[in-house]
Amino acid sequence: MPIKVLSVDDSRTIRLIVTRAFMPYDCVVIEAANGEEGLAAAAREKPDLILLDITMPVMDGVTMLAKLKEDDELKQMPVIMLTAESGRENVLHISKLGVQDYLVKPFRAEQLIEKAARAVPLQKKATA
- Average pLDDT, integer, range 111-119: 94
In-domain check, residue 63:
yes
User: Please, what is the average pLDDT of the chain?
Assistant: 90
Q: How far is CA 42 from CA 103, 105, 108, in A?
A: 20, 23, 25
Question: CATH code at 96?
Answer: 3.40.50.2300
In-domain check, residue 125:
no
What range defines the domain where residue 48 resides?
A: 3-116
* CA 114 – CA 65 distance, rounded (Å): 22
Higher pLDDT, 91 or 21: 21
Higher pLDDT, 87 or 21: 21
Q: What sign has the CA pseudo-torsion 79, 100, 9, 20? A: negative
pLDDT at 128: 54
Closest CA to 104 of 88, 118, 121: 88
In-domain check, residue 108:
yes
**What does the pLDDT look like over 44-96, one tens digit per residue?**
999 999 999 988 889 888 899 989 989 999 989 999 998 877 667 767 777 77
Closest CA to 103 of 121, 116, 122, 89: 116
In-domain check, residue 122:
no
pLDDT at 127: 67
In-domain check, residue 51:
yes
Q: How many structural domains does the chain have?
A: 1
* Share above pLDDT 70 across residues of the chain, in percent, rounded to a whole number: 95
